[in-house]
Structures are given as C-alpha cells and as structure tokens.
Structure 1
Amino acid sequence: MKHSKVFFSFLFLCIGYISFAQKAYVKGIILDDEKRPVSNVSITSSGNFSQSNADGFFEIEIPSNRKVSLIFTHVSLKMMSLAVSLKPNEVFIFNPVMNNSEEQMGEVFVSSGSKKRVQGITVIDAATIKKIPGANAGIENILKTLPGVNSNNELSSQYAVRGGNFDENLVYVNEIEVYRPFLIRSGQQEGLSFTNTDLVQNVDFSAGGFQSKFGDKLSSVLDITYRKPTEFGASLEASLLGGSVSVDAVSKNKKWSAVSGVRYRNNSLLVNSQDTQTNYTPTFVDFQTNINYDISEKWQMSFLGNISQNKYLYQPLTRETKFGTVDNPLTLNVYYEGHEIDEYNTYFGAFKTTYKIAPDFTLKFIGSLFHTQEQEHFNILAQYRLSSTNDEDNTENIDFTRGIGSQLTNARNDLDALIANAEVKGFKEWSDSQLEFGLKYTRESIRDRVVEWEMIDSAGFSVRPPIINLPADDQPYVPYTGVLLPYQNIRATNSNVINRFSGYTQWNQKTEIGSSQVWFNAGVRFQNWSVSGATVEGKNQTVFSPRAQFALKPDWDTDMIFRLSGGLYHQPPFYRELRDLNGVVNPDVKAQESVHIVLSNDYNFKIWNRPFKWVTEVYYKSLTDVNTYSIDNVRIRYTANNNAKAYAQGFDFRLNGEFVPGAESWVSFGYLKTEENYENKGFVARPTDQRLKFAMLFQDYMPNIPSIKLYLNLVYNTGLPGGSPSYSDPYLYQNRLNDYRRVDIGFAKVFIDSNTKISKANWLKNFKELSLGVEIFNLFNNQNAITNTWVRDVYSKNQYAIPNYMTSRVFNVKLNARL
C-alpha cells in the first residue's frame, strides 16, 4: 500500500504515543453441568499457568494483540480449548461449562467486543486516544470524529450528539457519574476535562438508543473505565501546552493497587493565535487517583478521587479583525481596558464496593460526593472603530470611519454546589439471560448569585435594551427624559435543594430463531424529584422511561447484525435547566421527553485480508415538553419553561478498520435535521442543527522507517445557527455561522516500544516506550468562528456581524515516555 508523500513533507522528529502494557487478562468462573463451581482446573496459555480456586474462579494473563489458545483440563472432566484475541489491558470475562461426556476440542474463538457490538456501543481504543492530535486532546477529541457527534469549538471539550446540547450527555467513570463546572461560558476557560487519559483502560460510547441502566439524559452515554494495574509503571507527557505524570502501583501481595495522575494545562499557545491580543495567565491543574483493594476473591473495594483547580486570568489588550468583501473591505479595531478573573475549584470522591454473593449474583454499592466552588468576575470596557479601507492588506490606509462605540460588560457571579449520591446495583445471571437493577438517591444543594450587566454606546448614544417596552417618544422634537437602562441586566440570588430518587431494572436474553442468533433487552427507569428553596417550593414529579433493544444475527456467510432500539427517554431538569434568562429558578420545570428510535446495521468484513467494519444508523427523535435554550460559545441559557416541541432526524455512517496494517483508522459521515416549535409559532432550526458532518481519523507510518508515525484528525461541519444579536427572536431573524473546517496532524519518532530490543548496557533499557514528535494544529489555517460581535455603522444605519475567530495555525512539540 502506497503511503502519501505529501504527509511526510511536514515530517519532524516528534512526539508519539504511550500505549499501555502489552498484556491482557481472561478471568471467570468454571462450572459443571449442574452449575456448580469446579475447583483445581488447570488453565495454560503461552507458558502461563493458572488454576481455579474452591469457588471455580480463575484469572490468567495472556499476550495482547494476537490470537492465543487457552487449554482447560481437569482430572475428572473433559478438556476444552478457547481462542481469544484481546487488546492491551483488556479483561475478558469467560465462564465455561465443563462436562465429563464431551471433549470440547477445536477452537472456540471469542470476540471480546461481541456483547458491545450487539448493544450498539462504539469501543474506542485507549492507545488511539493518546496518539491523535488536537487542540484539546483527549477522549472528547476522538468523540468529535464519530458520526452524530458535533462540536465547532476546538478549545472546548463539550460536544453535541444528534441534535442535543452539551447538558444532554451522560459521562461515567468506573460506573460513577461525573459532573463539570456550571458557570463556564467560553471554551478557553475550560482547561481540563474530568477524564485523565493516562489512567484509562476502556472507553465505550453510545449515541442513542441506550439501555435503561444508563441514566436519565436524552442524547448519549460515555462510559469510561480506569485501569487496575498489575505491576509498577510510570508515564510522562510534556508539551508546549502542559504536561502530565501518572504512576501505577501494586502491593507485594497484589491486594492493593492504585493508578494516579497529575496534569497541568496552559492554553496560552492557542489563545495567542487569536485576533485578540491579551495578557493571559491561566493555570489548570488536577490530581486524580483510583485505588483498589481486593478483600477476598468475592469482595473488592475502590476509591476514585479528583481535585481540580482552574484559574483563568484574562486581560484583553487590542483586537483587529478584517472582514467584508473584495469590493468593500472592512476592519474592526477594538481597544480594551479591564480584566477577567475566573476560578473553578472542584473536589470529587467516590467509594465503590463489589460483592459476589454467588458465582452468578453480584451486588455493588456506590457513594460519591461532588463539591464545586466557582466565581466569574469581570469588568471590561471595549472601545471600537469600524472602518472602510482602500487596501485589504493595509488596515492603516483608512478611507473613513463608519462607526465608533463602546461596550462595558460587568459580572460578579458566584456559585457553590454540593452533590451527594448513594446507589445500589445488582446483576443476576442465568445461562442465556441476565437481570440488572439499581436504586439511587441524589441530593443537590446549590447556592448561586448572578449579577451581570452590559452597557452599549454607539456614536455617543446609549443603546436601549431590546426587550424593554418603552413609551413612544417624539425625539428629537421632545427630549427623552426616561432613565438610562443597561442593554442587559440580570440579577438573582438562588439557594435550592433538589432531592432525587431514581432506579432501573432490565432483562437481557439471548436465544435463537431458527438458525439465527437473537438478543433481547427490555427495561424501565424511573425518577422522582422535587425542588425546594428559601423562596420557592416545587411540586413533586415522577417519570417512567421504558426502553428496549432487539438484535438479530442471521445465519449468513457474511458477519452482519441488525439492531432496533429505542423507547421513552426523560431528562429531569438539572440546576441550569431550572434557571431562566433572568437567572430566576422555576422549580416546576418538567422533564423533557423524547421518543427515540434507532435502526442500525453492523457489518464486519475483510479487505486486503485485514478487518473492517461498516456501521449504518438511522434515527428519529420526537421531543415534547422541550425547554428551549440559546448557546453562546459553550454557555447555555434556558427559558425554563416547557412551551415547545421538537424533532431530530438523520443518519450516520462509519467505516473503520486497518487501512494501514496494525493501525485502526476510520471515516465518518452524518446528516442531521432538528427543529423546534415554540408556543405553536412554527418550526425553526434548533441551535444544534448541524446538517452535515464529515470526519476522518487516520494513522500511518513510513514503510521503510516504521518508527516514524503519522496521525491525522480531520473534521468538517456545516454551519450552526448562531451568532445572532443578543436577545434576537429566532422567528424574526436567524443567522448561520460559516462551515467549520479543521485539520490537525502529528508526526512522531518512536525510539522505544514493545517491539524494540534494547541491550542491557543501553541507558534506555529502563523505558518501555519513548517517543518525540511535533503536532500542527489547524494545518490549513482555516478561520473558524464560534460567535459574532455586532457593531453599528453610523453611515448606513446597519449592524455588522464581525466573526469571533477561533485559533489559527499552531505548532506544538510533545514528549512521551513510559517506564
């Protein structure tokens, strides 16, 4: 296969990737024909040996990324064999049934991803997450290349799925729901997402039609598992954007294990590439740890902890933006005074214990506490000049000034939130079916103060607020004597407690229809909640959400699965959804409701004798009791009523496989249309109406120098509705931003990996992996805008939309090492 010479014209010796230890694990419980555990079964594979204990439990370590045979032998039972092929650090659960009448010879080849394939879950390789370049690298960076997942902001880790918004996505780490700060309004303020990719073992993602066990949100589920180390290890990553260190630790008796990591992030390199010149000193730091303790083979405990401190200090100085047409080039110059000081301190701790009552019955208890203290303080004066130029390349050659004005923005917003959870989950298994259930209590205590206002002056005149009905006047003949009002003015103080009870139960069944395999899943969720506070008292509300999945694998020569999934999905309002445009809490906001149907086809095949997969999904959502909202950068503001209905429909395609031997790549394409009807005014596009999406994630290497790697991340999204003037009515005016186009590329020189042979005398022998590379963000220097700034032209009496561009081309150098 030819490799593109164009890619390698950008080649530097660079940073690469850290892949985790090249080992995998098979474990489970061995039973006999009467479903009793079998002890003293010998399990051998590739020189490794294990034996089942009195409860029939076994665990064996095997090499990853290749086909391995396991042999099970017992003095009184017939031998059986199993063939598996697992990814690094993957754990495959296998519960064989041995008998004394039939020798199970030959290969029983097991695909470890078959269960998730049936459920419609996309599995993302943890090693790929580390390799792929992006301005905000991590799990979310990879998600944005998947069909149905959209984001037009490379500085943000937030994403929208199939017409939903950022608040409609569930995120779990080790089965524990995690949260993000409330007050963040700009992507460059976010810093670090919760998930530390250095600690990740498995990443599963569902874009819709997910099961009842996965919470009460409308759009998607991201389910992350941190690894449980089996030996000591350490990793280091350093780049111009920050760095991270992680450590794996295991006790001598193997009962204790821990994986911990520290991260630091500084976005100055990216922010300094924008139009606005600033003094920018951010500090984004966090520490995470996942500690495991095996009390016995039946009882395990773990603790997940996180401390995060994000300080955002921002002092804009000047801005120059060129726009307009060739015939009419315009320039906006802005001069700033003031600064912004934002701080987000979050503390998270979760305790989880798992107890195996019987080989086929497991109970779990999860308790977690999340505390966030946030402040958003700024006072910034922006004075602008809008000018016509007679030379688009020389902004100093000005024909005349079309408009002048100023904008004064002020905010003193503070929030303190404490969220506590207690949950019990159970899992009961039979030969071909399983029962899962859970019950959860959540208490949310939130104290919030909102004080923000904006004054706009245009050509010496204060601009009136657009939503205030003022009495008719007869200016300039009769002077206006009313008070001057700010263009925007929001003031509110809230102190609320939300109590929630939720639970689920679901049944999984595997059977056959004729010679075809069939999987059923049916379940129901419920949630009961009430909102109380010093000045408000909400009514008690309850919703039920039945859901189901059906999958069919015909007895064909081709490896194909058909799936139909969906049901009723509710999203009881979280705190931000209760707060209206004036900052006031409405305690009686209903849960948004969605009838969701997904029809999909999953086809595995081979090209060039290498594995490929083609996935097609068609979906439709019908939404009622919709709580409409507007999006400004990543800030969402709700109307806090349920006066709308909406729909979302579309289809997604994804082709993934080894376009290059040994490296997974994929191509995604999606179409989406989503509209809402507010108070029966008619259907208009929702803020997340992302019509077309194309993305590519590609991994390659030089054929003659395989240690030179290439990683490509390409995204194209059509323009979103947005950038309209503040408080504009979408039924009177709706604007679409330009298309979003971005290519990030990385080159790496891998000095050491699992295939490198190092002599004992070489000082590099202590490294398991070592790479150095360079990344180019926004390779083609596309100008992508996230919002618009609106200024007034005194000459023509028009308003101009000046795009607020995101980052331009940026170079980054990165070092990765693992001991």
Structure 2
Amino acid sequence: MGLQAQETATVKGIVNTHEGKAAIVSVVVEENQRYYANSNDKGEYEIKVPAGNEITLVFSSLNTLAFRKKISPQPNELMQLNIEVQTKVKEIKAVEIIDKSKRQEASTTDIDVKQQLLPSVNESIEAYLVAQALGVQKNNELSSAYSVRGGNFDENLVYVNDFEVYRPFLIRSGQQEGLSFANPSMVQNIRFTSGGFQARYGDKMSSVMDVTYKRPKKLAGSLSASLLGFSGHLEGVFDKKQRFTFTVGVRHRQSQYILKSLETTGQYSPVFIDVQGFFTFQWNEKWSTEIITQFSKNSYNFVPVSRETTFGFITDVKRLNIYFEGQEADRYQTFMNGISLNFQPNPNLRLKLLGSAYINNEKESFDILGEYYLSQVETDFSKENFGENLYSLGVGGMHDWARNELKSQIYVAAHRGSWFKGKHHLQWGVDYKREIINDRLNEWDRLDSAGYSMPPFPGTTDGQTLQLNYLLKGSTSLKSNRFSGFIQDTWRFGDSVQYSFNYGVRYSYWDLNKEWLTISPRVQFSVKPKSKADIIINVSGGLYYQPPFYREMRNLQGVVNTSLRAQKSAHAVAGINYAFSAWKRPFSFVTEVYYKYLWDLVPYDYNNVLIRYQGQNLSKGYATGIDLRLNGELAEGDESWISLSFMKTAEKIAGSQYTAYYDSTGKEIPNTKNYQDQIVDSATIAQGYIPRPTDQLVNFALFFQDHIPKFKFIKVHLNLLIGTGLPFSPPGNPRFRNKLRIPPYRRLDIGFSGQLWDNAWAKRKNTFGSWLKSVWISLEVWNVLGINNTVSYIWVRDVSNNQYAVPNYLSNRRINAKLVINF
C-alpha cells in the first residue's frame, strides 16, 4: 500500500448488511486514502491506519450505502470494529439491490435460517433447503438427508467454518436419526451450491453447504421449546475490545410425539442431545484462533406391538396386520473438535492452519419377530361389511435380527491461504486426512409362510435347506491416508459490463486404492450486461471426482472392495439471475439448466434412508434438468420462496441382464410354479439405461409467509412440498430394477404465530422487557391434508409364494405448539 513510516494501529472486524449477511466492501481512511483494504466473502476485513489522531473510516461498495465511522486509534492498538451497512435502494421505487458478488457464483444461494417459525417436523437447517436452494430433493420429513440434482445423500459436502462434517453411517430410517450437525441458532451465514462449484470445495459430486458460525458483537441468546424438545443458545464477548467471542448451543429432542403417528404402534423412546461451542480469540493484530467443539448422543429404543396397513386400489384393497415381539436399541455418539490458527501479515494476505478430530461410535441392535396376516378387504360400498376383512390371503412370519457396530475416526490437518491483488483473489489449500474404520456387521432377516422358510425368489431352494431372505456378515478394519489440494483465482473486471471469472484445479490421492486424481479443473464465469434490467448470466462446469468412503466399498454381502475407484462426473451449468421489483418490493428470479455425465459409478439401492452399495464401479449414467426459483416479499416485509425442478437421471450397469422365458407360441411367460411345464425357450437380455434411485421428474416447493395488514405481529407460515414418485424394485428381480414407482410425495405444513413481545414496545429502556428482543408463540399443523406418504416397502408372500409390496408410511397429521424467546 506504500504507507509512510509512521505510527500505526490495526482495525479489524466483520461487515454485515442490516439483514445479517456478510458484505464485501472496500475500507478506506477518508483523510489518507493510501490506507485501504477489502473485506472477504465472509465480511472479514483488516486495515492498518494512522494512529494518534481522529480519522474517518469509510465502508462502501457498489451495492451498499457508504458508512462512515470516526475513530481515534492509539499507536500499536488492535481495535475490533464490527460494522453494519445498508443495502442500496433504487431511487423512486425504493427496491433493494441484491449483492451481485454472491449472484455471480452459479447454482449458489444464501440460505436464510433466521426464520425460527418454519413449520417443519425436522428443525434442522436442511429443512430450509428445498424451497430456497436449487435442485434439492427431500422426501422424508423425519430425516435431514437430502439429494441434489440426481445425486444421493452421500454426495453432499458440508463445512462449518472450513471444517468438513459428516453424517452417521448406520442410520437406516428417519425415526432413528437425530439432529444434523449445524445448529441453526449459531449460524451467521449459509452458502449452498447445487453443482458446478469451485475448486476450493472438496471431492464430492453433487453439492456444497458452507456454514459460517456467528462472531457476536454483544451478549444475546435464544430459547425455543415445542412438543418435540427444546433448544437454546448464548453468544457474547469476553472483553470490551471484542477480541474474545463465544457462541454455545444446546439442543434436546424427543420425537415420541410424532412417531406415535406412524402405523406401527409400540413404545418409542428416542432421545437426541447435541452440545456445541464456537470460540474466537484475537491475540494481536496478526494472529487469531478459532475453536469449534461438538458432542452429540442419540439413543433410539423401540418396542413394537402391532401394525395395521391398508393398501391397494379402489376395487382391490388388502390389509396387513402384524403382531410383534422383541425390541430395537440403537446408540449413536459423535465427538468433534476443531482448531484453526489464522495469520494475517498484511490486509491482503491470509494464512490459516486447521486441525480437527472426528470420532464416531455407532451401535445398532434389534431382534424383532413379527407374525403377519394378509387379508382381502371388502370394497363394495353397498355391503354391510364394507372395509372389513373378507378372507385370508396368507399367514406367515418375519424375523429381523442385527448386531452391528461401527467405529470411525477421522483426523485432519489442513492449510488455507488467500491473497487479494488488485482485481484478483487467489486461494489455495492442502489437506491430509487419517481415517481409521472398525466395522462389525451381523444382520439377517427371514420370511416364512405357514411355518416354512421362504426363499428370496422362486427357484432358489432345494426344499431341504433353511434359507434366509437376507444375510450380511463381516468384520473390517481399515487404516488409510488421503491427500488433496487446490488452487484457484477469482478475477473480477469490467466497468459498464461487469465480469467475474473463477478458475482452479484440484488433486487428490488415497493410499488405500492407490488412485491419483491429478487434474480436476473447474471454472465459473458470469457477466452482467449493460442493461437497465439487473440480470447476471452464469456459466460453470468442471470435473468432480468422489473417492470412495467406507460405505461405498462394502457390497451387499458385507465384503469390502479396497480397489474401488472414485466415482466421476462432468458438470455443465448455465443460468440467469434476475433481480427486479414488483409492488415496490424486491424480488429475484433464478433459472438454471444443467447436464452431468457420470462414470465409474457404484450402483446402489435405497431402503428408507439407508443406502446399500454394490461395491464395484459398474455403471455410467447422466443427470439433466432445469431448476427455477422465485423469491421475494409477496407480503411486505415477509420473504417467500417458490421452487420448481424437472430432472431425469439414469444409469447403465455393466453386466446387468435378465432371462426371459417363452412358451410354444413365442409368448413371454413368468418363471413361476404355475408355468414351469409351459416353458420351451429362454433368452438372456441385456439391460439398457434404467432410472437411478433418485430419479424424480418433478419437484415443487413453496414456503409462503403473510401477516394481517394492521397487525403485523400475527403471521401465517405455509410449507408445501410435492414430488413425483421415486423408483423402487422388487427383491431379487433384476429385470424390474427401478421400474416401479413410489406414489408422489405430497405434504402441507402450516403455522400460525403471534408476537407476544417486542423490545420496541418497552416504555423504558432500563426495564426487564427492553432486555427481551422478542417473544413468539406458534401453533403448527403438520401434514394438514393427512396424506399417507410412502417412504419404502416391506415384501410379504402368501403360501403360493406371490409377493406383495406393503408400503411403509411416514408421519400423519399432528399439531405442535412452539415458544421462541430471543434476548
């Protein structure tokens, strides 16, 4: 910067907009503009200033109003100064202009989680994604798992303050799932990218969620309680100079209330606890430290009693009754610690060292015996016994047993660096991971009818051997090392026409499969044309490789393939981001088209939220679609989101084939007991492209907010999700792999809230009431329409070995009350 040799001080802090979002601004000393700096994409800045006299700092950008702050720094002082700037408004129409630097990243959305009254069973940050982000699919309200643009749950990256975090591995249903890692009360900002993301993000194929926790400026907190549990957080500073900050949060969830709406009755005892802390220490003008710590303990105990499921069509309805013995007891415990050391020798150069340890212990135990009765139901309205069982189709039993245990340890050492130079922002990083996995699997299930054990599909038993429907057994211990790194540059240039160009490469190596992935180029380009309309055109793409983790390596028999290669994809994304005004209020419309070519895929199947991989690189495929999103203040002061996606994904599995059987006339007939004597010929037929398990043609999401015009403290919140059916397969029949469809997912949740207190109502600022920011109470109705959404199927047979797919339904209608206090 060419500063004269004089006494100086250092000023640093965070710049946010009045909406609480990070702002990218320039900072300059008004009296001597040789002293200047820029804030980064998290709003962080640091600037050296002349000391000993009063000066004026000016914070400004193209999208914010200039903010001036007078200070009197002393020589060698380190001053912490956090600033809030106002977003620019257009003259005449008074409409906010959205920060273009964020809009210039393709498929990227800033997720607003400050809405504490979202009517949702799952109170995690993932509940906000479906309406606000692009191309997100979520078909299970009990789970925080989500898929993006045809990918599965394991293809999504999640970072919290540059630390990668993970999901439990043994979870097989939403009922067992606890709380996702990120605590919404501690969040400052979330950036979600649905594809075509930058090289600085790691090696997954679908999406990135980048979470930044708060660095508070003063003491504050919140408390929330509902029929599903409670949460609370406290944030503040340890000293007047704001050099030491803290944010801590506690969440406790007991979901018996919602689980009692499921079709299986019994004693549900789930308890989920999560405790987190985020601490920052500014030692001097150049050195700072961040510490994040988390502990979660999830227990799920279940003693089933009975189940009744009615399914079928209007004229052909069946009913399954099951009576259970046994129980399930699962334990999931996670501990994560992360520390980063930050060094900033000058305002334009930032260096960061990170270290973290993630320790996960999971135990899954169940021994449940069920006796089932399958019946035909009377469907004639004119009959007195309408809706009652007519006759029995089959009587049998099912036995599910498991003793599974997984211990995983992941240790990370990493470096991040960034350098601002003119119109360029250079970033780089290297990572080392040490992974230790110890897994012990032993599970099976058995079906029988009339006292005889049934084979998994016709023609596989000799009548002598007792056969299990499913068996998974094995023990594995793995120790491995991963190395990865990246370098990228963001170049912003142009005057009347504004351009942004991000380009970079990644590399990775894993010593277990010895696979070098040396080149993974990625680019993003955006342009804002010279036009009255506020339009930004985005294009992005690149190669995205996903080295296998332990779960992908384990096949359906429990055998681990240590030679499994990385799954690979090539992304191409193009879109338009249009900011406009309507009714003198701000709106944004985003649309993107994308195509992903996929190869070296590992085929898999879903069962609820459990993913079973085949453990080999057997397929190639594609995913293509279009996403559209409109958001803005449909009701003044309350933002709403509407999202619509169309998507197709399919794969071709090497060696996938089936045998067709024909009678004497050349007609194809089934290979069952009743047709055995008619089979005269057969042929082996190779499968072509078939739908992937996440193939969902249409996905629609709406989050709408409104209020009573003269009583803005009374609001309504509506959350609507509609998605066409996902594929599923009958067991042991490769011909019909993913040829059947689950019924569409349709869910409407609605909440009515009233503000009981606002600190603006306090008549005196020194009263207790002025200390409270707000108090809200909300009444929510989940699944207003009472629709039975299907998440998976169980398969039962009658004595003739005919198979029936019986749906497993998700939660039914429930009413919830919530209290939210902010102080």
Normalization by structure 1: what TM-score? 0.86
CA distance in 1, matches of 2:749, 2:331: 30
- Cα offset, 1:62, TM superposition: 5.1
Correspondent of 1:413 among 404, 414, 423: 404
1: distance between equivalents of 2:103 and 2:475?
48
Q: 2:391 aligned to 392, 400, 405, which one?
A: 400
CA–CA separation in structure 1 for the residues paired with 2:73 and 2:174: 52
Instruction: Return the letter of the residue paired with 1:443.
Output: R
Cα distance, 1:760–1:503 mapped onto 2, change above 3 Å: closer
CA distance in 2, matches of 1:782, 1:39: 66
Residue deviations 1:513-561 (CA, integer Å, cap 9, x gap):
x841111111000000022xxxxxx435434211011111111111111
Amino acid paired to 2:784: L
Q: Which amino acid aligns with 1:527?
A: S
Partner-residue secondary structure (3-state), 2:711: coil
1:614–1:653 Cα contact (<8 Å) kept: yes
Using the TM superposition, give the Cα deviation of residue 430 of structure 1 relative to its aligned residue in structure 2, in angstroms: 0.8
| Structure 2 residue aligned with 1:348 | 336
1:362-381 residue pairs with structure 2 within 5 A? Answer: 362-381=350-369
- Higher deviation after alignment, 115-124 or 540-549: 540-549
Q: 3-state SS of the aligned residue for 2:474?
A: strand
In the TM superposition, what whole-angstrom CA distance separates every residue of 1:728-782 from its partner, at most 9, and x where no partner exists? 4255662110000001111111122354344468653331111111111111111
Residue number in structure 2 paired with 1:814: 818
1:39 aligns with 2:44: no
C-alpha displacement of 1:601: 0.5
Q: 1:25 to 1:59 in 2, by over 3 A?
A: farther
1:206 aligns with 2:188: no
- Report matched runs for 1:107-256 at 5 Å: 113-120=99-106, 121-128=108-115, 130-145=116-131, 146-253=133-240, 254-256=242-244
CA contact (8 A) 1:48 1:60 kept: no
1:377-456 alignment, distance < 5 Å: 377-390=365-378, 397-456=388-447
Aligned residue number for residue 587 of structure 2? 612
Distance 1:457 1:528 in 2: 48
In 1, distance between residues paired with 2:747 and 2:76? 55
User: Partner of 1:667 in structure 2?
Assistant: 642
- Equivalent position to 1:523, from 499, 504, 516: 504
- 1:493 equivalent to 2:475? Answer yes
Distance 1:653 1:396, change over 3 A: closer
Q: Per the alignment, in what secondary structure is the counterpart of residue 748 of structure 1? A: strand
State the Cα distance separating 1:403 from its structure 2 match.
0.9
Q: 1:600 aligns with which of 558, 561, 575?
A: 575
Q: Which residue of 1 aligns with 2:601?
A: 626
CA distance in 1, matches of 2:614, 2:265: 35
CA–CA distance in 2 between the matches of 1:266 and 1:704? 38
The answer as to 2:708 corresponding to 1:702 is yes
**Most deviating of 457-466 and 36-45:** 36-45
Corresponding position of 2:527: 552
Tell me the SS of whatever aligns to 1:127: coil
Greater mean alpha carbon deviation, residues 146-155 or residues 444-453: 146-155
CA distance in 2, matches of 1:465, 1:24: 55
| Cα displacement string for residues 169-213 of structure 1 (whole angstroms, at most 9, x for unaligned residues) | 000111110011111111111111111111111011010010000
Please, which runs of 5 or more residues in structure 2 have no aligned partner?
1-16, 37-47, 59-65, 656-686
Deviation sequence 1:612-636 (CA, Å, 0-9, x none):
1110100000011111111111111
Q: Does the 8 A contact of 1:331 with 1:395 survive in 2?
A: no
Q: Distance in 1 between matches of 2:759 and 2:767?
A: 16
Residue pairs, 1:43-122, within 5 angstroms: 43=57, 49-50=70-71, 60-61=81-82, 66=86, 113-120=99-106, 121-122=108-109
Amino acid at match of 1:799: Q
Asked whether the equivalents of residues 375 and 394 of structure 2 are also in contact (C-alpha less than 8 Å), the reply is: yes
Q: Is the 8 A contact 1:24 1:61 kept in 2?
A: no
Higher relative contact order (CA 8 A, sep 6+): 1
Q: 2 CA distance for matches of 1:390 and 1:361?
A: 76
**Partner residue in 2 for 1:804:** 808
- Residues 397/441 of structure 1: CA separation in 2 closer, same or farther (3 Å cut): same
Higher mean Cα deviation, 676-685 or 592-601? 676-685
Paired position in structure 1 for 2:514: 539
CA 543–404 in structure 1, closer or farther in 2 if over 3 Å, else same: farther
Residues 175 and 749 of structure 1, relative CA distance in 2, 3 Å threshold: same
CA distance in 2 between counterparts of 1:725 and 1:666 reads 37
Return closer, same or farther for 1:248/1:667 CA change in 2, 3 Å cut-off: same
- Residues 23 and 62 of structure 1 are in contact (CA less than 8 Å); yes or no, is this contact kept in structure 2? no
The residue identity in structure 1 corresponding to 2:751 is G
1:111 CA displacement:
5.9
Distance 1:566 1:46 in 2: 37
Q: What is the CA–CA distance in structure 2 between the aligned matches of 1:25 and 1:449, rounded to whole Å?
A: 45
Residue type of the partner of 2:777? Answer: L
Distance verdict in 2 for CA 1:178–1:84, change over 3 Å? farther
The superposition leaves residues 432-475 of structure 1 with CA deviations (integer Å, 9 ceiling, x where unpaired) of 011100000001100000100111102332112349955xx6xx
Distance in 1 separating the partners of 2:22 and 2:270: 42
In structure 2, the residue matched to 1:267 is: 255
Deviation of 1:651 after TM superposition, in Å, equals 0.4
Equivalent position of 1:100 in the other structure? none
Between the aligned partners of 1:484 and 1:675, the Cα distance in structure 2 is 37
Q: 1:494–1:738: structure 2 CA closer, same or farther, 3 Å change rule?
A: same
| RMSD (CA atoms) | 2.6
Q: What secondary structure, in the 3-state scheme, does the structure 1 residue paired with 2:284 have? A: coil
Cα pair distance change 1:506/1:726, threshold 3 Å:
same
Is the contact made by 1:28 and 1:59 (CA closer than 8 Å) also made in structure 2? no
User: 8 Å contact 1:684–1:731 — kept in the other structure?
Assistant: no
The 1:57–1:428 alpha-carbon spacing in structure 2 relative to 1, beyond 3 Å, is farther
* Residues 746/704 of structure 1: CA separation in 2 closer, same or farther (3 Å cut): same
Give 1:667 deviation, angstroms.
0.7
SS in 2 for 1:698: strand
Check conservation: 1:150, 1:161, Cα contact below 8 A: yes
Of all paired residues, the percent bearing the same amino acid is: 40
Aligned residue identity for 1:282:
P
Partner Cα separation in structure 1 for residue 192 and residue 206 of structure 2: 11
Shifted more, 786-795 versus 140-149: the winner is: 786-795
SS of the aligned residue for 2:586 comes to strand
Q: Which deviations, in whole Å up to 9, do the C-alpha atoms of 1:302-352 show, x marking residues without a partner?
A: 110000000000111111111223323321111010000000010000001
SS in 2 for 1:612: strand
- TM-score, structure 2 normalization: 0.86
Alignment partner of 1:692 out of 698, 706, 710: 698
Deviation at 1:682, TM superposition (A): 1.1
- Contact 2:749–2:783 (Cα < 8 Å) also in 1: yes
Conserved in 2, the CA contact under 8 Å of 1:39 and 1:55?
Answer: no
Residue 418 (structure 1) shift: 0.5
SS at match of 1:706: strand
Q: Which amino acid aligns with 1:246?
A: H
Contact 1:280 1:315 in 2 (8 A): yes
Structure 1 residues 21 and 758: alpha-carbon distance in aligned structure 2, compared to 1, 3 A threshold: farther
The residue that corresponds to 2:793 in the other structure is 788
Task: Give yes or no for contact 2:690–2:738 (8 Å, CA) kept in 1.
Answer: no
Q: From 638, 641, 648, give the equivalent of 2:623.
A: 648
CA distance in structure 2 between the partners assigned to 1:52 and 1:718 by the alignment: 61
Amino acid at match of 2:372: Y
* Superposed displacement of residue 640, structure 1: 1.2
Q: How far is the alpha carbon of 1:719 from its aligned partner?
A: 0.2
Quick one: structure 1 residues 24 and 585, their matched pair in 2 at CA, closer, same or farther if it must change by over 3 Å? closer
SS at structure 2 position matched to 1:144: helix
